[in-house]
Amino acid sequence: MLHPDARALIDLIDQRGLPAMNTLTPVEARAFYRDRRDFTQPAAPDVGAVRDASCDGPHGPIALRIYRPLGAGAAPSPGTTLPVLVYYHGGGWTIGDLDTHDVLCRQLCNGSGAVVVSVDYRMAPEHRFPAAVDDCLAATQWVARHARELGVDAARLAVGGDSAGGNLAAAVAILARDSGELPIAFQLLIYPATDMRRGHASHATNGRGYVLTTELISYYHDHYIADAAHDLDWRASPLLHGDLTRLPPALVLTAGFDPLRDEGLDYADRLVAAGNRATYACYERQIHGFITMGKVIDEANSAVALCATELARALAR
């Protein structure tokens, strides 16, 4: 059964006649997403400190937002280091920014006791695949190199993201493994896109009526992927990588009424089959995107708490 909170949200969207994202230009869709987030997102909790920063990347500067948890002080203390989560927001590689995921990053920061570094990677279609992957890897490398001044422990560095951000986190974890120079301690994959071919059964069963539609997925895909051959590139489709051994422990979280549900489950199963530790949790009554909607979907708050708890457990000394 679809959760009543999710049902009420879908009905309200229909009643108000809100436009589908795929009927808007990317610029219009970004503004629509950003300007209406307060309707579904809870109030932003206080954190110990938050500041904007930037780092260099292969395509130019990358904007970052750095959060310190409550009780940790406004600035790093000598001799004290915290774990760190590098977070990549969702939005189909086309929409979303530091502001749309500010509340979630604050929640994860306080709940896990970790510093969170949110990455404003480049958006499609202005910057197509693999620009987002390049930015996310560069930002993560920057965090590891600047661990001392950030007051974080580079040996307790996690990557994470939701939807497109989960896709990017999975890709960065593999790239980090292959480089041998960037140890990742944990990956938080919230309803990740893992297979650009879009052929899993849940794409058919959940592709209508649950906010993230087949048409909207194609809209995002086609803005991000310029060449159909890139669907088979594992940096776009981490599920297709031939070797998923020696990857960091993972929490893979999915939603029962999400078109991406089955590829998330497949990725969790592949991780375990390859000898990794991966916890899988499906919120069976929920829709794609629900974790940021704690103001109107109560289960979002328990999902955030689960993510924060698993982060804290994985990144404990």
Query: What number is the average pLDDT over the span 269-298?
Result: 98
Average of per-residue pLDDT across 215-232: 98
Domains and CATH numbers, the chain: 4-314 (3.40.50.1820)
Q: What is the DSSP string of 231-260?
A: GGSTTT-GGG-S---SPPPEEEEEETT-TT
Q: How many CB atoms lie within 10 A of CB 61?
A: 11
Give the pLDDT confidence of 38-94 residue by residue, as tens digits.
Answer: 999 999 999 999 999 999 999 999 999 999 999 988 788 777 899 999 999 999 999
Task: For 117-160, give the secondary structure using H, E and C.
Answer: EEEECCCCCCCCCCHHHHHHHHHHHHHHHCHHHHCEEEEEEEEE
Q: What is the pLDDT of residues 96-134, one digit of tens each?
A: 999 999 999 999 999 999 999 999 999 999 999 999 999
Whose structure tokens read 């990677």? Answer: 121
Q: Which 8-state DSSP code applies to residue 112?
A: H
The predicted pLDDT at position 292 comes to 98
- Distance between CA atoms of residues 62 and 91, nearest Å: 17
- Full-model pTM: 0.98
Containing H/E element for 278?
A: strand 278-283
For residue 287, pLDDT beyond 80? yes
Q: Minimal CA–CA distance to 301: which of 96, 104, 69?
A: 104
Among candidate residues 92, 71, 88, the one with its CA nearest the CA of residue 80: 71
Closest CA to 196 of 176, 216, 167: 167
Q: Which residues are catalytic?
A: 163, 258, 288
Distance of CA 194 to the CA centre of its chain: 12
